Structure 1
Amino acid sequence: MEMRKVFGIVIFCILVSPIFVKALNLSFNDDILGLMVFKADVQDPQGKLVSWNEEDVSPCGWNGIHCNPRSNRVSQIVLDGFGLSGKISRGLMRLQFLRKLSLAKNNFTGSISSSVVQLAYLRILDLSENNLFGTIPGDFFEQCGPLRSISLAKNKFSGKVPESLNSCVALGSLNLSSNQFSGLLPSGIWSLNGLRSLDLSDNLLDGEIPVGIEGMYNLRAINLRKNHLKGEVPDGIGSCLLLRSIDLSENSFSGELPKTMQMLSLCNELIMKHNALVGSVPEWIGEMKSLQMLDLSGNNFSGQFPNSVGKLQSLKLLNVSRNAISGDLPKSMSSCVNLMTLDVSHNSLTGDLPPWVFKLGLRHVLFSENKLSRGMKNAIASSLENSRQKLLVLDISCNELTGEIPFAIGDFNSLQSLNLSRNALVGNIPETVGHLKSLDVLDLSENQLNGSIPLELGGAYALRELKLEKNALTGEIPTSIGNCSTLLSLSLSHNGLTGPVPATLAKLSNLQNVDLSFNKLTGILPKQLVNLGHLELFNISHNQLKGELPSGGFFNTISPYSVSANPSLCGAAANRSCPTVLPKPIVLNPNSTESIPGTIPLTVGHEKKILSISALIAISAAAIIVVGVIAITVLNLRVWSATSHSAAALTFSGGDDYSPSHSTDANSGKLVMFSGELDFSTGSHALLNKDCELGRGGFGAVYRTVLGDGMPVAIKKLTVSGLVKSQVDFEKEVKKLGKVHHPNVVALQGYYWTPSLQLLIYEFITCGNLYDHIHEGSSKNMLSWNERFNVILGTAKGMANLHQMNIIHYNLKSSNILIDCSGDPKVADYGLARLLPMLDRYVLSSKIQSALGYMAPEFACKTVKITDKCDVYGFGVLVLEIVTGKKPVEYMEDDVIVLCDIVRGALEEGKVEECVDKRLHGKFPAEEAIPVMKLGLICTSQVPSNRPDMAEVVNILEMIRCPSEGQEELV
């Protein structure tokens, strides 16, 4: 009987086992099929899914796949950080026993489907840190009943958070942070009373926190940081007794902190920074005894700090910076024995620096921007030995501290940043600062420190930033600074330092910013400084340095400002030449009987009357002018007949002789247009019709004509044709000018060439020139201050563009600044001297004699190279002309008035504001007009190297221009 039973069981197992194996294989096949469909839609550049093989019997050994040991069905897919991209496939729907799906830290894209949360056993969904986008479908959460945790953080989702969220009744953690969700918080969110963690931070949510939060009795952490939420913090938050972390920072919450929060005895993080909370820091804050982090910075808290804060013995970080807290910090805070960071900066605290600060073993102490007075010696002297080893950052800048820096500061061996700037500290810098081997930043600037910089400072070899400017330091810069091999920034300006710039600075290969300006440094700059490959600023202005600037590297482009006010400093770097040293004139006394060395003594019979030096100069100048006038007259007569014949024949009647975009011969001449869009035909209208003449200048006459397509252009006929060197040189220069394209520069659109006639074709500017607007306009058309400033700035931009293309104007003046219909300036007549390489400098001076007053002094010296600094001088005169409304030079009956001298004198007398054009009737901002005039005077410096370049001028003007509330009244 027993044998029959056993036999029956065996037969049953044999019959059933194929069915069981088949069912199991079908399940495996379903999981494998779903995973292979998912893999087919994924890019796997790192080969993380190479183990996924559809030929395998089971997927349980595949990378990132975990199976239930009982059913052997796939229960977890964890592919975090695999570097996968593509879309999330619906193939995952086949994984019917999946409990965890984590695809975090990949590059998946596309929108998200509701089917993802419809898997019956899914408990954890983590799609964070991908590039998923679009809105969340409204029904996304409707079937998420079993889900315990959802994280869609750090994607690009937008739109509203669906109201269907309240269907996730089992949800314990929801993280939608770092997306672009907008609108109100879902009203039903507080119905999820099983929620332990809620993170909606870094989105665009607005409105108020909905009512009902008091029912969230399981909530441990709430983070709504960095949204647009407003209103008061709800009282109900005090009912969430299990809360450990509250972060409502960077919103617009207002009102006072609700008193109910004192019940949150388990809370260890309260972060409310950067809101609009008011009132005093509440006394009940001491009841939140578990607090480890309290950050109330960036609000409007006022009054004194409460004594009860001393009860917070677990506190590690306290930040109440950027409020209006006043009075002393309470002594009870000495009980906060675990405190590591104390930031009370940007308040109105008074009194002494509390001694207990240096007894607690703090890591970071920040008291900047308060009203602390007296010294810091007692506070530091009372510090404990073990506490000194812990301090990393000490910032007491911008207070009213007096006295000396204590020697004991050198005992804080771990100190990384020390900022005592902008106080009233006196005495020497203690030598013990050199003991701070970990010091990264030392800022003692804007105090009243005196004495020399200690040699021992070089022992702080970890320094990256050293700021000692605006003190009364004397002596030499210590060579030991060269030991601070990691130094990036060195600022010693506005002191009384003497001696040379130490050559050891060249050892600091990481240096980026050096400011030694406004001292009394002497000697020659070390040539080794050119090896500093990371320099961005090297300011040695206002010293007594001499010799040649280093040549090469950064010094080839160094700003003129950075080397200004060193009378004996010169060099070729950045196109700066040494001032010409003229020989001392020999003054001859006609009554003297002494012989001049090297000459033959005159006998009584050979005595001659010797002219005075001023008479010799006057005769020489007159001779030069006569020779120049004769030369120009002869040259113009020589070419007059040929030019007039060509001009008479040249009417450009609009036939097919001229190509609008290519070179062509016309009347045995060559016409080149730089733009293919212009139809250069004038119909029956003569091109150089006398009736169309707009004006004449030193280089020729300008005519207005209209092209065949109705486009007006300006034609300049050069009257110095005989001075053009050759057609090749002429065309080379013209083509360079034709490449200038800038909104504040008149565009050259083409040219015409014959040996006896050259024409330049420009865009036509409709509203005349600046000279007429300033000196010839009626009171109704008078330029307002805004219009004048815009003309100055626009002209500067146009000139900067020309200089960037290595084009020098040579003839900058108000009549060469044209105004378009929008009131914007356009620089005209630029670079013409380059077309005439045969022009001697003195002949050039006579051709542009109408620019008298604008011409830089170096025009009169053959040995000085003409550079773009000549244009800067002319621009400076132009600035003064625009602001004052006066001409650069005005001739009176018995006197000549030079505008630059008048303004400079007024500046020295403190009356420069009186120089502004009276026709403005005081309608101008002095904070703009005065700096603009000062800039004009700097540009007209007699020494070319002291003038800024035009790019710097643009930057300065843009800094001067600042919108003001009354700006409309000035128009």
Structure 2
Amino acid sequence: MRAYLNMKKLLGLVVLIVLAPVWVRSLNPSLNDEVLGLIVFKADVQDPKGKLSSWNEDEDSPCGWAGLTCNPRSGKVTELNLEGFSLSGRIGKGLLQLQSLRKLSLAKNNLTGRISPSIARVDSLRVIDLSENNLSGSIPEDFFRQCGSLRVISLAKNKFSGKIPDSLSSCSSLAAINFSSNQFSGSFPAGISSLNGLRSLDLSDNLFEGVIPKGIEGLNNLRGINLQKNRFSGQVPDGIGSCLLLRTIDLSENSFSGSLPEAMQKLTLCTFLNLHRNSFSGEVPEWIGEMKSLETLDLSANNFSGQVPRSLGNLQSLKTLNFSANGFSGSLPDSMVQCTNLVALDFSHNLMTGGLPTWIFKSGTKEVSLSERKLGGASAPTNAVQNLQALDLSHNSFSGEIGYALGVLSSLRAVNLSRNSLVGPIPMTIGELKFLDNLDLSQNQLNGSIPLDIGGAISLGELRLEKNNLDGNIPASIENCTSLTTLILSQNRLTGQIPTEIAKLSNLQNVDLSFNNLTGGLPKQLVNIPNLLSFNISHNNLQGELPAGGFFNTISPSSVSGNPSLCGSAVNKSCPAVLPKPIVLNPNSSSDTTPGSLPSNLSHKRIILSISALIAIGAAAVIVVGVIAITVLNLRVRSATSRSAAALTLSAGEDFSRSPTTDNNSGKLVMFSGDPDFSTGAHALLNKDCELGRGGFGAVYRTVLRDGHPVAIKKLTVSSLVKSQEEFEREVKKLGKVRHHNLVALEGYYWTPSLQLLIYEFVSGGSLYKQLHEGSGGNFLSWNERFNIILGTAKSLAYLHQHNITHYNIKSSNVLIDSSGEPKVADFGLARLLPMLDRYVLSSKIQSALGYMAPEFACKTVKITEKCDVYGFGVLVLEVVTGKRPVEYMEDDVVVLCDMVRGALEEGRVEECADGRLQGKFPAEEAIPVMKLGLICTSQVPSNRPDMGEVVNILELIRCPSEDQEELG
């Protein structure tokens, strides 16, 4: 009945939309056409914020409605401006009723669908702005047929595709075209060349290709042209020099080549010229100085060569100059001292030589980058101006000391003098730079200590001083740099202890103090740094126990290596405990001998046993007894199993069609989804050829029911540990109700006191373990298949945890793959069949696969929760992405997968961990976050691991569908 009512409502809505004009006019026959058209338009959109609530069909005129402007004389609507109204839906034909409309703006909404050719046919329209929506499809060929009055059109930031119609040439009055940030393709629109009145053209961020036609010279009124981020190629036509009114030219990020057209020197009104990232070559001509209005000149990332033209000094309006990443040689011309308005200067990544021009620091320049050139000589002058905010002179050959006048540059925010040959101390005046955010003096020959005044740089976010000759202590005053996120002091000669004050820097993420001479212990307070991602203290002389908690529970062994006196799990060295004096046993002493003493003639034969030794001996004895007990137990189980299986085989001829059946000899069979005849599968229980595998709970066999339905039968081998029949059946029935497409369905069970069978659906594709580690030749899992397996497994565990079921045994051999490639998790919830979650059972039976076991299994005082599944899942994630087993035994080493990936992450080469069989055919933007998620799931502290529901959400966010996805697969 409810479905019928819903269908009825839906049909009513369709009738309302289709017959809206007739319906509205029947309610109010006096409605004028504009009210009618607007009400029909409103019916086609959704208005979640109620912006159109004032649009009421009972009104005689729409002139008081939100977003509308009317002509005061005629009362006709002349402007419809619904920009930013949060509307969704489609643009209907109701707007055709607004015959006096001059401006239509539906920008910054969420409108979808295609645009109708009829929109532009309103003769009075001057402005159409549909930018920043989700409109798609191609523009109809006749869209521009009747647009003689149109002056401005913007379709920017939508999802339009295809070619621009040639009918655009019909819009002879067009002054501004903005088709940017879409997916338009094809060549430069031919119709544009005939639009003599065009003042602004923006085709940026599309898929246009080919050359710019020579006909562009006809655009005599053009003020701005933006072709950025397309696929245009060839040379820029000389005709561009005929567009004498051009103010802005952006041809960046294309494939233009050749030299700059000489006719460009005529563009004396041009203030902005951006040719960044193309393939222009040759020398920059001297006539560039004729473009005297230039304020921004960007020729970066091209193939220009030769000398920097002296005529740049004529560009006295120049504010931003970027010649980086080219092949310029020689030195900067002194004539540039006349560029007194220069704010940003970048000549980095070139082949220039010589010293640092003094004029740079005499102008009002705020940003200077001259990195990776071949400049040399003394360091920066001491008479630098106070306006400078960013200085990058890295990767050059500067020598000498850093001037004390550096502190005079009170506006400095970033200083990079790395990779030079600077000597001497770090000037104490560094503490006077209150706005300094980034200081990089690494890879020089600086000596002396880190100045105590460093704490004065209170805005410091990144401090890099590695690979110098610095000595002395790390100053405690660094605690004042509360914004610090990166502290790299490695490969120096620093001594003393790591100051406790570092622990107060709550924003710290990356710390590297390796390869120094630091001593003492690590402050326990370091565990309180909440955002720490890496902390490298390797190759020092530190001692004592590593801090326990927070980041240090998962610290990589490589980050603490080379400190012989450090102890803790990360260095695989236990810390010495305070023990009582050793007990001295003398087997030859008499009863009156003083305890703990030996006769002098037997002192050389005394036996000393410490408490730990006694404990070890006791543990060994317990293990021996346990092995004997388990052996006896297995013999009993096998005997009982054989008898019960025989009984089941004998009873196969009896009536198993009724479910459940029970008998003192045959046991009880229950099928959850019907009454299939089970008798034909009984022989498989003792048939080795039908065995699929063995796990912690028992062997699994494949058999086929009489109706042809294949099933997998698990014969439990923990019978003596299984609960009573009543409790066993109650738990199995709960598991039988668990249904999820990524879980292996439990279809039934069989019970006798000495034999229990679980009947599962049969999954044909085998286990994930076999596909990862035993696959043949070119048959391996693609990235898409791996990601889907990870996501499906995560969803199944999240489902189990929602139903208060913990798996306890996550590993690749328990993840099966069906014929369509979907993962199905098996063996879930079997621990519920045991009378208690005894750690011996969990570790020796369930968690039989080394490497998946959460660390809390080793601690009797820690409660085992679903976070154990999260840990095992994290290991599984790394196994799937890398194709490596959780623990691999090499000739001279044992490689733990989690530690290997974590170390690679700290060294910035985590992408190398991906399975080599993928041969680079995987999206790094997915693989790297997935591996990081796996590491988070394997945190040593259970509370630091996410819930599986959160894991599913994260994976769905990581998934980045793209056109290349199929190829990567």
Q: CA deviation at 1:413?
A: 0.9
Provide the rounded CA distance (Å) in 2 between the counterparts of 1:200 and 1:650.
78
Q: CA deviation at 1:491?
A: 3.4
Q: Is the 8 A contact 1:559 1:948 kept in 2?
A: no
Q: Superposed, which structure 2 residues align to 1:50-199 within 5 Å?
A: 65-66=68-69, 74-83=77-86, 87-88=90-91, 90-199=93-202
Give SS of 1:357's match.
helix
AA matched with 2:413 = Q
Say whether the 8 Å CA contact 1:657–1:665 is kept in structure 2: no
Q: How does 1:926-937 map to 2 (within 5 A)?
A: 936-937=894-895
Tell me how far apart the structure 2 counterparts of residues 839 and 105 of structure 1 sit (CA, whole Å).
Answer: 58
**Match of residue 431 from structure 1:** 428
In the alignment, the residues of structure 2 paired with residue 947 and residue 294 of structure 1 have an alpha-carbon distance, to the nearest angstrom, of: 47
Superposition deviation, residue 155 in structure 1 = 3.1
User: Which stretch shows the higher mean deviation, 479-488 or 432-441?
Assistant: 479-488
Contact 2:538 2:558 in 1 (8 A): yes
| Alignment counterpart, residue 461 of structure 1, candidates 436, 458, 462 | 458
Corresponding residue number in structure 1 for 2:892: 903
| Distance verdict in 2 for CA 1:682–1:236, change over 3 Å | farther
Aligned Cα RMSD in Å?
A: 6.2
CA distance in 1, matches of 2:144, 2:128: 12
Q: 1:181 to 1:958 in 2, by over 3 A?
A: closer
Matched, 1:232 2:185: no
Question: Taking structure 1 as reference, are residues 846 and 389 closer, same or farther at Cα in structure 2, changes over 3 Å only?
Answer: closer
Residue 244 (structure 2) pairs with residue 241 (structure 1): yes
Give the TM-score taking structure 1 as reference length: 0.71
| Distance of 2:907 and 2:710 partners within structure 1 | 31
Secondary structure of the equivalent of 2:683? coil
DSSP 3-state at the match of 1:650: helix
Q: Select the residue among 469, 476, 482 that pairs with 1:485.
A: 482
SS in 2 for 1:381: coil
Which among 633, 643, 646 is matched to residue 644 of structure 2? 646
Change in CA separation of 1:261 and 1:598 when aligned onto 2, cut-off 3 Å: farther
- 1:475 corresponds, among 472, 476, 492, to 472
Q: Equivalences for 1:295-306 in 2 at 5 Å?
A: 295-306=298-309
**Which residue type is aligned with residue 420 of structure 1?**
L
Q: CA deviation at 1:264?
A: 1.7
For residue 301 of structure 1, give the secondary structure of its aligned residue in structure 2.
strand
CA pair 244-357 structure 1, distance change in 2 beyond 3 A? same
1:316 to partner: Cα distance:
1.2
- For residue 127 of structure 1, what is the amino acid of its counterpart? L
| SS in structure 1 at match of 2:268 | coil
Amino acid at match of 1:433: I
Q: 1:163: how far off? A: 0.7
* Preserved contact between residue 658 and residue 671 of structure 1 (Cα < 8 Å): no
Partner of 2:755: 757
Aligned partner (choices 223, 226, 229) of residue 223 of structure 1: 226
Alpha-carbon distance change, 956 to 413 in structure 1, aligned in 2, over 3 angstroms: closer
- Conserved in 2, the CA contact under 8 Å of 1:658 and 1:665? no
- Secondary structure (helix, strand or coil) at the match of 2:448 reads strand
Residue in 1 aligned with 2:912? Answer: 959
- For residues 195-225 of structure 1, the C-alpha deviation after alignment (integer angstroms, 9 at most, x for no partner) is 1211122222222222311222221211111
Aligned-partner SS, 1:380: coil
Deviation at 1:288, TM superposition (A): 1.9
CA distance in 2, matches of 1:455, 1:371: 33
- For the 8 Å contact 1:767–1:821, the answer to whether it is kept is no
CA contact (8 A) 1:768 1:820 kept: no
CA distance in 2, matches of 1:641, 1:553: 51
1:393 offset after TM fit, Å?
A: 1.5
Letter in 1 for 2:439: L
1:452 match: secondary structure: coil
Distance 1:632 1:347 in 2: 74
Q: Partner residue of 1:267? A: 270
Q: 1:486 to 1:680 in 2, by over 3 A?
A: farther
Write the letter of the residue equivalent to 2:131: S
CA displacement, residues 653-673 of structure 1 (integer Å, 9 cap, x when unaligned): 49774899x999996656688
Give 2:322's aligned residue. 319
Alignment partner, residue 911 of structure 1 = none
1:681: how far off? 3.3
> 1:546 and 1:436 mapped to 2: Cα distance?
36
The letter of the residue matching 1:434 is G
Change (3 A) 1:722 1:529: same
How has the CA–CA distance of structure 1 residues 752 and 363 changed in structure 2, closer, same or farther, with 3 Å as cutoff? farther
Distance 1:252 1:548, change over 3 A: same
CA contact (8 A) 2:808 2:829 kept: yes
| Matches of 1:766 and 1:69, distance apart in 2 | 75
Q: CA deviation at 1:701?
A: 7.6
How far apart in 2 are the matches of 1:580 and 1:827? 43
Corresponding residue for residue 413 of structure 2: 416
Identity rate of aligned residues, in percent? 56
Give the structure 1 partner of residue 259 of structure 2.
256
**Cα distance in 1 for residues equivalent to 2:66 and 2:168:** 33
Secondary structure in structure 2 of the residue aligned to 1:348: coil
Q: CA deviation at 1:170?
A: 2.2
Write out per-residue CA displacement over residues 314-338 of structure 1, whole angstroms, 9 at most, x where no aligned residue.
2111122233333433333222222
Amino acid at match of 2:325: R
AA in 1 matched with 2:163: K
Q: Distance in 2 between matches of 1:420 and 1:734?
A: 70
Between the aligned partners of 2:509 and 2:522, the Cα distance in structure 1 is 17
Q: Does 1:203 align with 2:218?
A: no
CA distance in 1, matches of 2:607, 2:737: 52
Task: Write the letter of the residue equivalent to 2:411.
Answer: S
- Which runs of 5 or more residues in structure 2 are unaligned? 1-29, 922-969
Mean Cα deviation higher: 452-461 or 43-52: 43-52
State the distance in 2 between where 1:121 and 1:746 align.
66
The answer for the alignment partner of 2:296 in structure 1 is 293
Partner of residue 362 from structure 1, selected from 362, 365, 385? 365
Question: Counterpart amino acid of 1:233?
Answer: V
Which structure has the larger Rg?
1
Counterpart of 1:927? none
- Aligned residue pairs total 862
Is contact 1:580–1:863 with CA below 8 Å preserved after alignment?
no
SS of 1:229 mapped into structure 2: strand
**Segment of structure 1 superposing worse, 91-100 or 39-48:** 39-48
Alpha-carbon offset, residue 247 of structure 1: 1.0
Between 1:367-376 and 1:733-742, the stretch displaced more is 733-742
| Contact 2:396 2:419 (C-alpha < 8 Å) held by counterparts | yes
Contact kept in structure 1, 2:648 and 2:682, CA below 8 Å:
no
Give the structure 2 partner of residue 282 of structure 1: 285
| CA separation of 1:635 and 1:551: change in aligned 2, threshold 3 A | same
Unaligned runs of 5+ in 1: 1-26, 775-780, 889-898, 905-935, 941-945
CA gap of 1:960–1:114, structure 2 versus 1, over 3 A, is: closer
What's the secondary structure of 2:287's corresponding residue? helix
Closer/same/farther in 2, CA of residues 76 and 855 from structure 1, 3 Å limit: closer
**1-side partners of 2:162 and 2:684: how far apart?**
65
* 3-state DSSP of counterpart to 2:401: coil
Code of the aligned partner of 1:257: L
> CA 1:93–1:424 in structure 2 vs 1: closer, same or farther (change >3 Å)?
same
Number of the residue aligned with 1:380: 381
The separation in 1 between residues aligned to 2:71 and 2:135, in whole angstroms, is: 30
**Aligned twin of 1:894:** none
Q: Per the alignment, in what secondary structure is the counterpart of residue 198 of structure 1? A: strand
Partner of 1:4: none
Q: CA deviation at 1:164?
A: 0.9
TM value normalised by structure 2: 0.71
Shift of 1:254: 2.4
Give the secondary-structure state (helix, strand or coil) at the position aligned to 2:228.
coil
**1:707 aligned residue (686, 704, 708):** 704
Are residues 1:330 and 2:333 paired?
Answer: yes
- Equivalent-residue separation in structure 2 for 1:38 and 1:282 (angstroms): 57
